[in-house]
Amino acid sequence: MPVLKLGSALKAFASAMVIALFSIVIFTASAQATHLQHWVRISGSMWILDSETWSSDETGTKSFGPAWRTVPLTSTYYGEGCVGGEVKGQVRVTFPYVSTTWVLATVRGLLYEGVSCSTTDLDGQGQQDVWIPLNQSRTVSFRVWNDDEGGDFIDFSVTIRNGF
Ligand SMILES: [Ca+2]
Ligand SMILES: [Ca+2]
Ligand SMILES: [Ca+2]
């Protein structure tokens, strides 16, 4: 009975295909559920003004990055720059939330002012949170003033890309 044989062969092939499709669906679903890891790219700049009483103010732009990291990120990303031998900016980026498609970035900007660029005298700070969808970039920009002595400020601009 060649027709019957062909029929059962087709049935066997069909069930094999169903099993294969099922495996693909299950594999894809589990891969998506566990694949939280993203590449992120961090870059930006600080425009720093070091206010001077007896001479003209000192200004300059300090860039940082691009730096690639994978999230979830266990450590903090740091970027730094100093102008006029007195005013130092520091950027700190963390990623407190990561989903399969989105990341939440917390960007902190700190202003240190003292007698040298290695000063640890924190005189001002600001923070912005930003949600970034997969394969897109977001830029946060904010100004941090020297709240303690006045005059100095830093314009932070930080761009983060979620994905390649
Ligand atoms: Ca100064
Ligand atoms: Ca100076
Ligand atoms: Ca100071």
Helices (H), the chain: 2-34
95 CA distance to ligand 1 centroid (A)?
Answer: 33
Per-residue pLDDT band for 11 (boundaries 50, 70, 90) equals low
117 CA distance to ligand 2 centroid (A)?
Answer: 10
Ligand index nearest the alpha carbon of residue 83:
2
Ligand index nearest the alpha carbon of residue 114:
3
Interatomic CA distance for residues 76 and 10, integer angstroms = 58
Domain edges within the chain: 1-35, 38-162
Ligand index nearest the alpha carbon of residue 147:
3
pLDDT in tens, 67-98: 999 999 889 999 999 999 999 999 999 999 99
